[in-house]
Amino acid sequence: MSDKIKEILSQMTLEEKVEMCSGADFWNLKGIERLGVPSILVTDGPHGVRKQAEGADHLGLTDSLPATCFPSAAGLASTWDRNLLTKVGRTLGTEALSEKVGVLLGPGANIKRSPLCGRNFEYFSEDPYLSSELAASHINGLQSQGVGGSLKHFAVNNQEHRRMSTNAVVDERTLREIYLASFEGAVKKAQPWTVMSAYNKVNGEFASENHRLLTEILREEWGFDGIVVSDWGAVNERVASLKAGLELEMPGSYGIGKKKLLEAVESGELETGQLDESVEGLLELIFKVVESQKNDVSFDKKAHHNFASEVASESMVLLKNEDQILPISKEKDIAIIGALARKPRYQGGGSSNINPTELDDIYNELCQDNTADVSYSEGYALDGDQVDDALLQEAKNHAVQAETAVLFLGLPDAYESEGYDRTHLSLPENQLQLIEAISEVQSNIVVVLSNGAPIEMPWLPKVKAVLEGYLGGQALGSAIAKLLYGDVNPSGRLAETFPVRLEDNPSYLNFPGDGDEVEYKEGIYVGYRYYDKKNVEPLFPFGYGLSYTTFEFGNLEVEESKDGDYNVKVSVDISNTGDRAGKAVAQLYIKDVETTISRPEQELKGFEKVHLEAGETKKVTFDLDMRSFAFYDVDLQDWRVEGGKFEVAVGSSSRNLELSQTITVKDSHTKPEKVNRNTTMGDLMKNPEQAKIVENMLASVETPLTQHMDENSGMSDMMEAMTKYLPLRALSNFSEGKFTEEDMQKYIDELNQASTPTV
């Protein structure tokens, strides 16, 4: 604690301390004028600065001040580009400073458990490694400018349905490997100034008053040194939340929280020492923000808009390109069809809604520099599913006269938003009918999608190309034009699996739960982990994306770990074998070949995006560590590497791994589990020293087992298979009492003294 903060804390009254633990109002933290403690402003993000205008509505959902609207997290994640996310964070930081914003509330690192979650557009991925790496990059960029990040929503917040009361029931291993891991890397690599607790309960306790999450794991295990702020209105019981490790309740609770904290201190329920720790953290945050603020900060709105266009172009994913219909020549007549081409859906609904500094008109962008005829027809109405025959006919008339029809389709605002979940993965009926109608008169159809999460595509055979645009921010129009015309080569890759149908999703039977309880029965098998393990063919796999050029991977080199330190260096060459420049995404996956527990077929543990000129080759390197090979051992309450063979595979998607090598890694925990009467023969036979003792034990007493032992080779294959899961205690039954309890205990003691196996 600095001397300044120590001095302020010593002069604060009890009432001032408890007042500081709640917001002054909806967006400002409480200051103390007499002690020179200013109030600071926090505001929503994460893909833009949403500062509420004076006199706007209470929630600030409208009339926010203009700011650059970047693609939402679903698109940002599809860039697979740490450096780009850092630059986005820096840009957001500059804009936040210009408005005197101290903390920008984001990014969101919740796992995409189901494609139905209405807020998936605001989250990065179904994979915790990709999510945490990109979140860390975003936060590092933001905080480099002196604006705090707020990593949210901690934790297990994966649906909007009953989000303020639902109880997420998830087993410990799944919690650690999937849902917490998505936050862990971001906390350790970026140290966000704040972490925002979620609305929901986690295994029976509200996240905002969950001591294990907020103190034991977040602070003590991960080393988080910032403050925990509640999601707006997430505090259930203020005293319990502060004791659990939540310093700041937002928004202000009109004296309710203050009253409860005062009574708790006066009754002895809350120790003054813990209250002081919370206030100390808040003072540190306030003065960190104050010291970072700069006067007269401004930014070039046009330059930021152009950067948003660059980001959007890298966030879009080319899913299909039959007959190389894309890119489109600017000399071709094209029919632009779809209301979304003139009224674009460029961001999601809810608290992250940005008032953009400007907004591209997609149709106008496509008309620029095009020397041929570009027509437009509405095709469908955005307000509802009703099919309009007149609009359909007009669209058909335009399509039949053009060389190519470009259909702008997607999910209207009402289909996905903060506050509620989707109920299906289909496009609106009027858009489905549009595809059918245009396919009757035009064979060259390109679809451009605007949506925050996966959709089903039963219409895919009827179109030649699909560009997944996600929610591309205010500059989506220029980005789409550059991609369709080939001025920019598509480089986005899916950060989530697109299922053929909703029923294929692993959470289908358990989403959104019954009443206020949702059980995560699919366990660790989320996203591609499930599709790979179950051998279910997705519509488009995790990591997938096409380009206008081609890439080849070669010369995979994998170093063996030395001295059991798990530091493994992997390198691979990537060559651009096409005729134009492009960006490849090298993806590295690890598979435990000899696992004795249930593990995914493969897990993403490295990725790098690289720009290559036509004909160019570059070497990409990855550094693996212990966590690259580990699973969470619930019995040990720690991460563990089970020694043995691991496959290291590199390729362009989870379903296209071109190169692989196998290495051997040592067990991270050499102390064997203690042998007891229920330890099985099979487990004992894995250890060479213990196996000898078992064979001597069996030879010492005549049982049906010993009668089938081979004198030359010990236990026969047949008997070894039969006894694999036989516990030690069962020998008493089979020996007709000749193998006594005393005999068994003698051998248990001897087995526990045996040396451990080496890998």
Q: How confident is the model at residue 757 (pLDDT cuts 50, 70, 90)?
A: very low
Other CB atoms within a 10 A radius of the CB of residue 543 amount to: 26
Note if 487 is an active site residue.
no
Task: Identify the CATH number of the domain defined by range 551-665.
Answer: 2.60.40.10
| Non-local CB neighbours of 117 within 8 Å, separated by 6+ positions | 123, 158, 159, 160, 421, 422, 453
What is the pLDDT, as a whole number, of residue 759?
35
What is the pLDDT, as a whole number, of residue 282?
98
542: pLDDT strictly greater than 50: yes
Pick the catalytic residue: 231, 360, 421, 633? 231
**pLDDT over 70, % of the chain:** 95
- Chosen CATH of 3-53+64-292 out of 3.40.50.1370, 3.90.1010.10, 3.20.20.300, 3.30.70.3340: 3.20.20.300
Q: Are strands 41-44 and 101-105 parallel, antiparallel or unpaired?
A: parallel
Are 110 and 126 a contacting pair, CB within 8 Å? no
CA gap 586, 180 in Å, rounded = 25
What is the average per-residue pLDDT within 520-531?
A: 98
From residue 597, give the alpha-carbon distance in Å to each of 221, 249, 429, 567: 25, 42, 45, 23
Q: Where are the domains of the chain?
A: 3-53+64-292, 309-508, 551-665, 681-753
Segment 9-54, tens digit of pLDDT: 999 999 999 999 999 999 999 999 999 999 999 999 999 999 987 6
How many residues comprise the chain?
759
158: pLDDT strictly greater than 60: yes
What is the average per-residue pLDDT within 234-238?
A: 96
Segment 416-433, tens digit of pLDDT: 999 999 999 999 999 999
Quick one: tokens of 650?
């590199």
Q: How confident is the model at residue 715 (pLDDT cuts 50, 70, 90)?
A: low
754: pLDDT strictly greater than 90: no
What is the pLDDT, as a whole number, of residue 507?
98
CA gap 272, 199 in Å, rounded = 27
What is the pLDDT, as a whole number, of residue 248?
98
125: pLDDT strictly greater than 60: yes
Beta bridge partners of 483: none
Task: Identify the CATH number of the domain defined by range 309-508.
Answer: 3.40.50.1700
What is the pLDDT, as a whole number, of residue 703?
60
593: pLDDT strictly greater than 70: yes
706: pLDDT strictly greater than 60: no
Q: How confident is the model at residue 351 (pLDDT cuts 50, 70, 90)?
A: confident
Task: Look at the pTM and tell me if it is higher than 0.85.
Answer: yes
CA gap 72, 79 in Å, rounded = 11
**What's the DSSP call for residue 338?**
-
What is the pLDDT, as a whole number, of residue 683?
82
